[in-house]
Structure 1
Amino acid sequence: MLLSTACSVSAASDPIVTGPVPKPLAPCAWWYGIGDSPAAWEIREAAKHYDVVVLNAWETSAMRRLHDLNPKVKVLVYKDFSSTRNYAGAVEGDRDSKYLPTGIGYHAAQQQHPDWFATDTNGKRIEWAGYPKHWQMTVWNKAYQEAWTKAVVAEVVREGWDGVLADNDFSSLRYYSPAVIAGTSDTAGTDRLLREGLDGLLQLSGDALEKAGKMLVPNVSESQLTPGRWSAHSRYSGAMEENFGLRGDNGAGELITFKGNQFKEQRAQAALGESWLLLITHTKSDQEERVGYASAALLASPHTCWTQADPSYKSPYWSIYQDARLGEAVEAANRLPSGAWTRRFSNGWVAVNPTKAAVRLTPPAGLVTLRGEPVAPETDLPPADAAVYVNAPKK
C-alpha cells in the first residue's frame, strides 16, 4: 500500500499525518508495449529505464523476465473494456485464443451470449471504423461486467501480472462509429449509456482487482468532456491519458489537455501522489515532444510517468528530456495571467504555453538549455509550445 498524506480530522484537533509528504519528482518513463513482441534487448533496457510496462496478455515470459530483472517495475496486462475481437491472434480458427486482448472471447460470446454484442437501431452489430474485427460490447450489461471481471482477475492472479491496463474507457462512441445503439434515441443517449456502463464495469473490476492485491489503470478517453470523470476513473491505481498534450484545430490551436476540468483533476491526483498518471504524447516534431514532457512535469509526483510514442506502439522510447534530470519540484505549478504555466525544479525549470498566442516569460536566473546555451532574461514562448531548461553547471 502506498504511503499518503491521508489524515484524520476532528473539530478539536489538527490533522494527523499518516505518511510522508510525497515527493513531486520529474516524470518517470514508461512503455506502452502492445504493438509487437518485445525483443530480449528491449526487455533488458525496459528493466533499467521504465517504472511501468504494459504488455499483451500472451507476453507472459517477457513479464516474468522483467520481474526477474527488476522486481520494482510494474508490469500490466493489456485488456480492452469495450470490445471483443476476431482478428488472427485473438481467435484461432473457430476457437478463441488462450490469451486474449479483451476480457471476453469473440467465439465465447457468439456461442453463449450473442446478446453481449451491441447492436444499432437496425439490429446490426457495431464494428469499429478503422479497427476491423473489433466489436462493440454491451458494457452496461451486468452479466457482461461480471464475466469480464471474473475472467480478467483470474488470469491476472494466475499468471502473476501486477494489474490491468484497461483500454477504451471512453466517453463517446463517435470516434469509432456513428451508430446509435438500440434502445437509445440518439448519439447523446448512446454515449450516456456507454459511460454509465463503463462506470459500473470499472467499479466491479476495480474492487475485485484491488481485493486481489492487483492494479487497475484505465485508459480514460475524452475525460475533458465530462467533469469529474478523470477523478472518478483514476480512483483505483490511477489512469492513462493517451492523447496528452494534444493540439486542437487540426494541430494549429490551443492544447486540449488544458481545457475543461481534466487538467485540474490531474493536478489534484498528482498532488496526492498515491496513484499512477500514465501519459502518452504522440510526437511528430521536437515541439510536440517538448510540450508533452513539460506538461507532464507540471504534474510532477512520485507516480507521474510520461512517454512519447507513435500510434503503432511497436518500439520503446526514451526522450532527451528524460535525461534532463530536473530533480524534484520545489513549487506547485503556476498559472500566469497570460495563460502560460511554469514550475521550478531543484535542477531546472519548465514552462508551457497552451494558448493560441505567444507569451513573454521571465525565467529564473542561472539556467541553460539542454545544449548548454545560456537562457536569456526574457523569452517569448510561441503558442502551443514549451521550454525545458536546467541549472547551469557550477563553476
Structure 2
Amino acid sequence: MNTADVKTEMVGKSDGKRHPQPKVCLVRSLLYGVAFVHLWLGPAFAQTNESSAGEASIAPFIPAAAVLYGPIANNTGRPNNCYPIEEAAKFSLLDLSPYLVGRTTRWCGTPDRALDAIRALNPNSIILVYHFGPGQIKWTGFPAPAGGDSIYQALRATHGLDKPDPWFEQGHHSGDYLVDMYYPVNMAMKLSHPDWRRFWREKTWEGFWGPNPLMDVRGTDGILVDGSQAHAAYSHYPLCPLSQWTGSSCTGPRDTAATYWTPGRWNDALWGQHMLQAVSEIVPFFKARGLEAMFNVWRLQPNYLDLLNQVGGWAMEECGFICAVIQRRFPPNPRHWEERLNMLRSARRAKIMNTNVLVDALGPAGPGKGIEILDTLISDPTTGRTWRGWDVLWFAMTSFLLGYEPRLQNAYFHFTAWGYRDCYWLDEYDPRYLHLGLPRDTARKLASGAWEREFERGWVWVNPTHNDITITVPQDSARILNHYNFKNPDSVPAITQFVLRAWTGVVGLRAGMTMAGIEKPGKTPPGLTLYPNEPNPFHHTTTIRFFIPQPEHVILKVFDAFGREIATLADEQKQAGEHSVVFDAQNLPAGLYFVQMRTRNNATGRSMMVVK
C-alpha cells in the first residue's frame, strides 16, 4: 500500500477503563481517547471583546485560558455533569478535545455545534484542538478499531520495522515496536524521519480542516500539539515492547528508543534537536493555512523559546509557576519559579499558555469537588506553613502579571485544581473587579527577594521566597487586595507598608484609584482584518478585501492545499484603511486554496474554494 493512500480514521468513545497513570496531568491520555483518535491561530485577536448583545466590554487584565479534555464536567461537582457554554465563552483561549467542538451532551443544553455557540457569545474567543505530536502514533482505541486497516496498521504495512524505510521507533534491547506506558494507546514513532513528520503534518490538517475532514473542527484557530517537550522524552516515558504489552501492563523489561540511546545513556540533545526541527516545520505549515500551532513543552527552555519567537509559534508550559503534579506539594522550587518568569518575560512573537496545576497538592480533596476545592488548606511539611487554594491561585496569577505584556498579548493564564476535566471562570478574571490598566515598566526584583511591577492604577507584588517580607509602597499609599477583599476595595484602608507572606502575591490599588481600567464606550475600529473573499466558492475570479489600522508593509500570498505558493497578490507598503485585490484562478485546478496576509508583527489567513 502506498502511503499516499493511507486514510486517517476515527474511533468513537472510550470504554471508561482506568489505566495506570503515574502523573495526574497525564490522565489526558485516557480522556482524549473518547474523542478523535488518529487525527491529528493565524491572527492575534484584539483583547477587547464584544458581548453577544453588541455592548462593549472591558479588555481583560488577565487573559484566562481553559483546557478541557475528554468527559468534561463529569463528576466534578457541576450540576447535571455538563459544562456551561456561557462559562466557556468567557475565556480568551480554549484548548479542547476535538469532539467537544461539535455536538455532545458534555455541554449543557447540547448545542448543535459548541464552537458556533461559543463564538456567538464571544466572537474573539481563540479555540485550539488537542492532538498528539509526531513523536507517537495512535495504535489502538478504547475499544480497538473493529475491522479494516487503521492508519497504524497501514503504516506498518508500508513503513514497519521489517520494511526498508521504517517510520516506527525500535526498542534498543528488544528490537520491537514500543508502546508508551503513560499513554498506552500510543506507539513511539521516528521523530527523526522527515517523511514521517511531513505525513503527520499533512494528515493532521487534512483530517481536521481539509475539504472532507474526518472530524470537522473547521472554524477553530489551530492545534495544541501534545508530547512536544524538547528534553527527557522517552527517557522519562516508560516504553514496553509490543510483544510484552497485555493491554494494561508490561510483562517483560521496559525498553528505550534505539535512535536516542548511546552506550549507557539517553541522548537528550538528539531528541531535542529532532523535536525543534519538527516544530520549525509545523508552525509555518499551519500558518500558511491560517492556523496557529501551540506545543505542550512541559517546561520551556531558552532554545525552544528562541525558535518560537522566530517562527511565531505558541507554547503550553504545562509546568508553570505552580507544578504540583511533579512536587505534589506547594510551594514550588524558587529557582524553577524564576526560570518560568524569565521565559514569560522573553516571549515576543511567541505566545505562552502559562498552565498552573494544583491538583496533586490537594491530597484527599481530589479533583471531584467543585470550586469549593480552593478552600482546601495546603501545608508545607518542611516549614509547617499553610495556604488555601485561593492563596495559591493569587500567587500564580500575580506571578503571571509580572511577565505578561498586554501590548504584545504574549501569554494566557491557566489555573486548574480539577485536572483537565474542568476549569472554572473565576471572578478574579473579570476586569470589572480586577484591572490596574497597562504596565508602566517591567517587573523588578527587590533587595528582599520579592518582585514588584507598577501599573497605571497600582502595583503587583509577589514573594517567591520562604520568608515573610515587609513591602513599602513606592509612592503614596495603596489598598492591598487578595481573594478575600478584591471585590470590595473601598472597604480596605490605604496603607504605606505591609508584610507579604512567603509564597503569596497581592495587588495594590493606588489610593484614590478605582478598578475597571480600560473601558471603551463604543465599538472600536477593527484591527488587522482579512475579510472572507467574495464570491466563495468561485469559478474564475474572486475579490479579497483587507483592513489595516495603520500604514504597513503588506504581503498577500495564495497557497494550495499542500502549502505550495501559488501567487503573490501584494508585497508593498499600504496606507491605513481598507484595500482590495482580485485573484484570478482561471488557470488553476479546482480545490481548496489559502490566502495569507502578513505584516511586520501579525499574520492571518482564510480558505478559498475554486470550482470548475
TM-score after normalising by structure 1: 0.79
The aligned residue for residue 267 of structure 1 is: 345
Using the TM superposition, give the Cα deviation of residue 146 of structure 1 relative to its aligned residue in structure 2, in angstroms.
0.5
Matched, 1:258 2:337: yes
Superposed CA deviations along residues 83-129 of structure 1, whole A, max 9, x for unmatched, are 223453585335688xxxxxxx5444444433333233112433334
The aligned residue for residue 175 of structure 1 is: 236
Letter in 1 for 2:320: F
Using the TM superposition, give the Cα deviation of residue 217 of structure 1 relative to its aligned residue in structure 2, in angstroms.
1.2
After superposition, the Cα gap between the structure-2 partners of 1:311 and 1:119, relative to the gap in structure 1 and judged at 3 Å, is: farther
The aligned residue for residue 393 of structure 2 is: 289
Output the CA distance in 2 between the equivalents of 1:265 and 1:236.
Answer: 15
The aligned residue for residue 196 of structure 2 is: 144
Unaligned 5+ runs, structure 2? 1-42, 47-58, 74-80, 103-113, 161-165, 211-215, 240-254, 363-388, 515-612
Using the TM superposition, give the Cα deviation of residue 380 of structure 1 relative to its aligned residue in structure 2, in angstroms.
3.1
Q: Given that residues 182 and 238 in structure 2 are in contact (C-alpha distance below 8 angstroms), is that contact kept between their aligned partners in structure 1?
A: no
Higher alpha-carbon deviation: 69-78 or 309-318: 309-318
Matched, 1:84 2:194: no
Give SS of 2:278's match.
helix
Matched, 1:342 2:418: no
The aligned residue for residue 233 of structure 1 is: 308
The aligned residue for residue 501 of structure 2 is: 382
Matched, 1:332 2:445: no
Q: Given that residues 156 and 164 in structure 1 are in contact (C-alpha distance below 8 angstroms), is that contact kept between their aligned partners in structure 2?
A: no
Counterparts of 1:44-55 in structure 2, within 5 Å, are 44-47=86-89, 49-55=90-96
The aligned residue for residue 27 of structure 2 is: none
Using the TM superposition, give the Cα deviation of residue 360 of structure 1 relative to its aligned residue in structure 2, in angstroms.
2.6
Higher alpha-carbon deviation: 321-330 or 243-252: 243-252
Match of 2:402 among 298, 304, 307: 298
Counterparts of 1:1-395 in structure 2, within 5 Å, are 1-2=43-44, 26-37=61-72, 42-47=84-89, 49-61=90-102, 62-81=114-133, 82-89=135-142, 91-94=144-147, 105-114=151-160, 115-122=166-173, 123-158=175-210, 159=216, 160=218, 161-170=220-229, 171-173=231-233, 174-177=235-238, 179-183=255-259, 184-185=261-262, 189-224=266-301, 227-233=302-308, 235-246=311-322, 251-260=330-339, 263-269=341-347, 272=348, 274-283=349-358, 284=362, 285-302=389-406, 303=409, 304-310=411-417, 312-323=419-430, 324-326=433-435, 327-363=437-473, 365-370=477-482, 371=485, 372=489, 373-374=492-493, 376-391=495-510
Output the CA distance in 1 between the equivalents of 2:189 and 2:333.
Answer: 34
Using the TM superposition, give the Cα deviation of residue 342 of structure 1 relative to its aligned residue in structure 2, in angstroms.
1.3
Using the TM superposition, give the Cα deviation of residue 316 of structure 1 relative to its aligned residue in structure 2, in angstroms.
2.4
Using the TM superposition, give the Cα deviation of residue 340 of structure 1 relative to its aligned residue in structure 2, in angstroms.
2.1
Percent identity over the alignment is: 20
Superposed CA deviations along residues 51-106 of structure 1, whole A, max 9, x for unmatched, are 11111223332234333443211111111113223453585335688xxxxxxx54
After superposition, the Cα gap between the structure-2 partners of 1:43 and 1:190, relative to the gap in structure 1 and judged at 3 Å, is: farther
Output the CA distance in 2 between the equivalents of 1:3 and 1:59.
Answer: 22
Once superposed, what is the RMSD of the aligned Cα atoms? Answer: 3.2
Q: Given that residues 300 and 343 in structure 2 are in contact (C-alpha distance below 8 angstroms), is that contact kept between their aligned partners in structure 1?
A: no
Output the CA distance in 2 between the equivalents of 1:203 and 1:91.
Answer: 33
Output the CA distance in 1 between the equivalents of 2:263 and 2:60.
Answer: 45
Output the CA distance in 2 between the equivalents of 1:306 and 1:27.
Answer: 7
Q: Given that residues 353 and 386 in structure 1 are in contact (C-alpha distance below 8 angstroms), is that contact kept between their aligned partners in structure 2?
A: yes
Output the CA distance in 2 between the equivalents of 1:257 and 1:116.
Answer: 36
Q: Given that residues 325 and 347 in structure 1 are in contact (C-alpha distance below 8 angstroms), is that contact kept between their aligned partners in structure 2?
A: no
Give SS of 1:172's match.
coil
After superposition, the Cα gap between the structure-2 partners of 1:41 and 1:309, relative to the gap in structure 1 and judged at 3 Å, is: closer
Using the TM superposition, give the Cα deviation of residue 35 of structure 1 relative to its aligned residue in structure 2, in angstroms.
3.4
After superposition, the Cα gap between the structure-2 partners of 1:295 and 1:259, relative to the gap in structure 1 and judged at 3 Å, is: closer
Using the TM superposition, give the Cα deviation of residue 311 of structure 1 relative to its aligned residue in structure 2, in angstroms.
6.1
Give SS of 1:277's match.
strand
Count, aligned residues: 362
TM-score after normalising by structure 2: 0.53
Q: Given that residues 91 and 425 in structure 2 are in contact (C-alpha distance below 8 angstroms), is that contact kept between their aligned partners in structure 1?
A: no
Q: Given that residues 62 and 413 in structure 2 are in contact (C-alpha distance below 8 angstroms), is that contact kept between their aligned partners in structure 1?
A: yes
Output the CA distance in 2 between the equivalents of 1:390 and 1:89.
Answer: 52
Bigger proportion of residues as helix = 1
Letter in 1 for 2:227: N
Letter in 2 for 1:287: D
Output the CA distance in 1 between the equivalents of 2:459 and 2:398.
Answer: 9
Q: Given that residues 463 and 501 in structure 2 are in contact (C-alpha distance below 8 angstroms), is that contact kept between their aligned partners in structure 1?
A: yes
Q: Given that residues 244 and 281 in structure 1 are in contact (C-alpha distance below 8 angstroms), is that contact kept between their aligned partners in structure 2?
A: yes
After superposition, the Cα gap between the structure-2 partners of 1:315 and 1:2, relative to the gap in structure 1 and judged at 3 Å, is: closer
Larger Rg: 2
Give SS of 2:267's match.
helix
Higher alpha-carbon deviation: 232-241 or 276-285: 232-241
